[in-house]
Chain A
Amino acid sequence: GQNIDQPTEMTATEGAIVQINCTYQTSGFNGLFWYQQHAGEAPTFLSYNVLDGLEEKGRFSSFLSRSKGYSYLLLKELQMKDSASYLCAVLDSNYQLIWGAGTKLIIKP
């Protein structure tokens, strides 16, 4: 079966750095997405990786290793507004998005 694993919840301090990991086993791979979802709202796009390596976009960076079935989202200089759930999703061989359950990130002052 297809599976996306990510931690259920993480806590970090304002101004610090946090890394959210995601491992996946899917039938085929056509890219990995990270989305941010605030409570009661729809997901918003953060990043897309299809090749191995690190993609940096401001305070957020995303890394992919296809051979390991592994990705992480790195958030720097954390702000209180970064408190949200972060969803990892993989596009499989049928171009269908397989979603992880999300990681709830709690930022403390």
Chain B
Amino acid sequence: GAVVSQHPSRVICKSGTSVKIECRSLDFQATTMFWYRQFPKKSLMLMATSNEGSKATYEQGVEKDKFLINHASLTLSTLTVTSAHPEDSSFYICSAGTSSVSYNEQFFGPGTRLTVL
């Protein structure tokens, strides 16, 4: 149980284009979804937290107009990187939390490697 999928797993795009990444909880309802980015040999950096049906809460320094997050249902959240630039190249990971787990465990998706040329 508690499987999270992410699509696509890898994407290469040209500078200036927009890229959408989907995160789905397959066998549970995710009350909260988290979006992280990770640079090589660095720790996970939380970008935003989203609850179904409400606006995402962005971390300091993360541009909400550039990284659009939509949490339309209890099983789906999307992250859209708008007008991507080479510095946006990174490993993007989503995770989902459920109130049914007593210790607030987050279940991670497999990640999306974004390369902007």
Contacts and interface: CB of A to CB of B under 8 A. Distances in A.
A43 B105 CA distance: 12
Contacts of A105: none
Interface string B37-75: 000011111100100000000000000000000000000
B21 interface: no
B93 interface: yes
Interface string B73-117: 000000000000000000101010000000111111111010000
- The B interface is mostly helix, strand or loop, or mixed, namely strand
A41 B6 CA distance: 12
Contacts of B44: 43, 87, 99
A50 interface: yes
B95 to A, nearest CB: 8
Interface in B12-51: 34, 41-46, 49
Nearest to B109: A42
Q: How large is the interface on B (under 10, 10 to 19, 20 to 34, 35 or more residues)?
A: 20 to 34
Contacts of B91: 40
Interface residues of A, number: 21
B103 A42 contact: no
A45 B107 CA distance: 8
18 contacts: A30-B104, A31-B103, A31-B104, A40-B111, A40-B113, A42-B6, A42-B93, A42-B109, A42-B110, A43-B44, A43-B93, A43-B108, A95-B104, A96-B46, A97-B34, A99-B43, A99-B46, A101-B43
Interface of A: 30-31, 33, 40-45, 48, 50, 87, 91, 95-97, 99-102, 104
Interface of B: 6, 34, 41-46, 49, 91, 93, 95, 103-111, 113
